[in-house]
Structure 1
């Protein structure tokens, strides 16, 4: 596939890939976002109310919006 090259080891096993970001930059962003989601899926969640309260306390959010 043009714009995608595989790096192989001594046994011709694919171990890495080089992607032409000019051609496939948006695809790479989607792939990377998916990796982040997968990596963080077991992290603790914080409620919207908790986030709002923290932002209010830090002065980064006003009471009215």
Structure 2
């Protein structure tokens, strides 16, 4: 993240929204997509690193 976020407040001074640079927003969205992919695969079996290398021919 590059810049400090700016906040929008209501009449009581409570933060209700945030303004971010578009690059920071896009980075957050990519991180969210990565976390969703990890969550979807959490129950898949693990294999040892050497076995994975063998499977792809390395």
TM-score range, shorter chain: 0.5 to 0.7
Structure 2 Cα separation of the partners of residues 41 and 30 of structure 1: 16
In structure 1, runs of 5+ residues without a counterpart are 4-21
The residue that corresponds to 2:4 in the other structure is none
Provide the aligned C-alpha RMSD in A. Answer: 1.9
Which of the pair has the greater relative contact order for Cα pairs under 8 Å at 6+ separation? 2
Deviation at 1:2, TM superposition (A): 6.1
Alignment of 1:8-23 (within 5 A): 23=22
Q: How many residues align?
A: 39
Q: What secondary structure does 1:27 align onto?
A: helix
TM-score (ref. length: structure 1): 0.48
Alignment of 1:1-65 (within 5 A): 1=17, 23=22, 24-56=25-57, 61=58
Write the deviation string for residues 7-63 of structure 1: whole angstroms up to 9, x where unpaired.
xxxxxxxxxxxxxxx81110000011111111110011111111122233xxxx3xx
Structure 1 Cα separation of the partners of residues 53 and 40 of structure 2: 25
